[in-house]
Structure formats: C-alpha cells, structure tokens
Amino acid sequence: MPSEVLQQAKEEFTNWNGHGCSILEMPFTGKDFKEILHQAKMRLRSLLNIPTHYQILLMHGGASAQFSLAPLNLLGNQTCADYIETGHWSCRAIAEGLRYCRVNIAASSRENGFIRIPLQDELQLNAKAAYCHYTSNETANGNQFHSMPESGNVPLVVDMTSDFLTRPIDVARYGMIYASSQKNIGSAGFTVVIIRDDLLDRASHITPHVLHYKAQSEANSLINTPVTFAIYLAEMIFRWIEAQGGLQAMARNALARSSQLYRAIDESNGFYSCHVLPDSRSHVNVCYTLKNSTLTPLFIKRAAEHGLVNLGGHSALGGVRASLYNAMPEKGVTTLIDFMHQFSQEYQR
C-alpha cells in the first residue's frame, strides 16, 4: 500500500469526510458508499481505458473463486476450454476448470519447470473452446507474459491478479479480465472482473445468484453487502496511480525496479540465480535461489533483521521471492540489493 494512502485512511478512519462516522459504519445502500463505489469504478475505467461495452464487477471469493466462476459463467453450450499452463496459479485454474469442462492444454512450460512463457506459434488452440484462459503473471514462479497471446475468435480470459495495473493493456482484446484486490488494488477483499457485454449471458443455471456475472452487473455489484472498506481503499489507490502518472509510470517503475534486481542476481557470480529465462521474467515477482540452498533460511532471517520482510518464496516452491508491487519504493529494491551484496560477501567461499 502506498504510505500516502495509509496515512489518509488513518486520518479519516473515525470521521470520514466530516460525517462523524467511519466508512466501516456506513450502510452499503446509502448514497455516500454508492458515491465511493461509483468513483472507484469511474477511475478504474479511466486508468485502463475500459470501453463502454465492458462491465466492471466487484465480486467476492478472491481470484480462486474465479477459477470456478469463469467456467460456470462462460461455458454456455460449449464443453471445452483452452488453458495455457505456465505455473502454480494456472495449474490451480486448470484443476478447477476440469470440474466443469474438458480442458485443452493449449501450451505448457511444465517440462522446463515453468521457466519460460510459451510462444504464440506453440499454442494449439481449439476453435470450439468457450474461452482461452491464461495467467499473465505467475506470482509464485516469477514468469510473465510480455505480450498477450492471440486466441482468434475464442474469448481470451486472463487471471491478472499479480500484474493488474502495473502496465497499460488493451482491454478490448480480452473477453474477460479478473484480478483479486490484495496485490495492486490495495487490501484483500474483492476481485475485479472486467467483462465484455456479450459474455454476460452464458452462465449455467446452477451458478449461484451472487456469483452470476449478469446478475451482479445488473445490480451494480450490490446484490449483497460488498467489502466497503476495501473498495474505499481501492478508490484511493486508483487516485494515487493517477497522481503518479498512470499506468505508463507504473510500467516504467516496475521495469526499473525489477531490472536492477535481476542485474544484481545475474552479476553475483552464481551466488544467486534466477532460473526464469530473461524474456519471460516477471517485472513484479522476482524469484531466485541461493547456490547453497541451506543458506536460504538464514538469508531470509537476516534480511528481516534489515527490515526486508516477506522474502520467502511461495510455500510450494521455496527459494526467495521479492514482490515488487506498485507501491514498492525504489529504495526498497536498492536496500535489498545492498543486503544481498553484503550477504554474498560474507558467505561466498
């Protein structure tokens, strides 16, 4: 979270906008919260240039719920969907997709340990697929699509949870985009779904009402109580991104932060290494290992003593992961690089 946003939230916490009450105490049906929701959606629409024939839904259940909600809402009469398998989170989406339809793995980098993003000409797409799903940034594996895959007439569905709002995108080339809020939209609580109008009417009849895209779209995402506080924070984050120069600025910063760190890893004489191939490396989650892996717990502990916290890799993969979301100041990266240098000097043999 940007410190300016946390500070403002702190100041307003008990008395929002001079109303004598906290956001936490406001009814979601009242005009004040509805105005916050309206502003949040408007600012998001403007940041991403979302065309008018796309709806913005704020859903419950995290991005993981979308692993089931995409097939439930989008399969229509079709029985198959394409999935591109690039790491931990796309595997989770595939496992859930398999409960609802035939999954065609259009491409996979599993054989290489997910160290690269498949190329466009490797994709074996099924023209009868209801949609083609991919994960734009694999948060746990540290790989990222730097250009979006093409899926022809099949709607492209993307899990953008960890790189949402880190760069400009062309929304009109997607059928649906989803991202949960806890990375670049502020605090945990909701999932943004951006969906093209013509895909709203394909849901299976067993889709729960509160998780039904069309129903939520018609109810302005207010079928039931939304996470009001997280939406309030998101609106402030969108304003903060605007003030920083928008998504172009976010992309520049993400590239500057991550390339400094990859350079430090690549120039460490093998003390640290990143297995992801250079063209596929994430600008958001930098995942790397220590040559002597027995030193990893000590590295993480010593880093924390330097104020560099949460550097452990994903629980399924281990190693080290520096998550460089939008609010990470450049100083965070330079401090980490200095620490890595000191640590390697001390333990290099």
Query: Which residues lie near ligand PMP (CB under 6 A)?
Result: 62-64, 89, 135, 139, 159, 161-162, 180
Q: At closest approach, how far in Å is the CB of 112 from ligand PMP?
A: 19
CA distance 33 to 344: 51
Active site residue 159: yes
Cα distance between residue 165 and residue 240, in whole Å? 12
* C-beta of 311 vs 340, nearer to ligand PMP: 311
Q: Provide, rounded to whole angstroms, the least separation between the CB of residue 230 and ligand PMP.
A: 12
Smallest separation (angstroms) from ligand PMP to the CB of 54: 21
Which of 16, 41, 82, 89 is the catalytic position? 89
- Token representation of residue 104: 């065609």
Q: Which residue is nearest to ligand PMP (CB)?
A: 62
CA angle 58–321–123, rounded 5-degree value:
65
Give φ, ψ of 291 to 5 degrees. Answer: -55, -45
Residue 145 CB, nearest approach to ligand PMP (Å): 12
Do the beta carbons of residue 198 and residue 217 sit within 8 Å? no
Q: Which is nearer to ligand PMP, 89 or 271 (CB)?
A: 89
Closest CA to 289 of 278, 279, 300, 280: 300
CB of 237 to ligand PMP, least distance (A): 16
* Least distance CB 135 / ligand PMP (angstroms): 5
Q: Which of 16, 41, 82, 159 is catalytic?
A: 159
Respond yes or no: is residue 128 known to be catalytic: no
**14's tokens:** 């008990």
Phi/psi at 162 (nearest 5 deg)? -100, -5
SS3 percent helix, strand, coil of the chain, rounded to 5, is 45, 15, 40
Helices 228-244 + 246-266 axis angle, to 10: 80
Q: Smaller CB distance to ligand PMP: residue 63 or 84?
A: 63
Whole-number Å distance between alpha carbons of 102 and 336: 44
Per the DSSP assignment, residues forming a β-bridge with 323 are 285
89 is catalytic: yes
Q: Which is nearer to ligand PMP, 164 or 343 (CB)?
A: 164
Which of 227/295 has CB closer to ligand PMP?
227
Structure tokens at 246: 């928008």
- Which C-beta is closer to ligand PMP: that of 64 or that of 260? 64
First to last CA, the chain: 39
As a whole number of angstroms, the distance between CA 87 and CA 137 comes to 9
Distance between CA 262 and CA 30 in Å, rounded? 48
By annotation, the residues acting in catalysis are: 89, 159, 183
